[in-house]
Amino acid sequence: MIVRQIEEQPAFTTKDGSTIREIMNVGNAPIRNQSLAEACMGAGASTERHHHKLSEEIYFILAGSALVEVDGVAREVAEGDAILIPPGARHTITAHTDLRFLCCCSPRYTHEDTYFD
């Protein structure tokens, strides 16, 4: 069994501009097919619109509210909402308030699988 504490994981900025802590990834656990991270954004911040050719993502909003756009469809989201982002879907998220969400990726997140329009 592997258990990781989020506070023990170093924060870094991804290619899209969000600040994340990878809770479980290939670097800290024997993971092959997925990754789990916490992302934080300040009110008014947005990620750069991007897509992943390989990774399917699920965002789960822990705190705050935001506007999420996936392939041209925009929707308001808030605490308790889960958002599916299929591989290849162009997407961005804009925080209305301080925002904290989980991001689950399969296959695991890599900078190399992040592409901009």
Q: What is the pLDDT of residues 37-81, one digit of tens each?
A: 999 999 999 999 999 999 999 999 999 999 999 999 999 999 999
Instruction: Please give the residue that has the higher pLDDT: either 103 or 26.
Output: 103
pTM of the model: 0.92
Location of structure tokens 């982002």: 85
Residue 48: DSSP 8-state: P
Q: What is the CATH number of the domain that holds 46?
A: 2.60.120.10
Q: Helix, strand, or coil here: 46?
A: strand
Our count of domains for the chain comes to 1
* DSSP annotation string for 59-108: EEEEESEEEEEETTEEEEEETT-EEEE-TT--EEEEESS-EEEEEEEESP
Q: Is residue 51 part of a domain?
A: yes
- Given a contact cutoff of 8 angstroms between Cβ atoms, the answer to whether 41 and 95 are in contact is yes
Q: Which domain holds residue 37?
A: 13-116
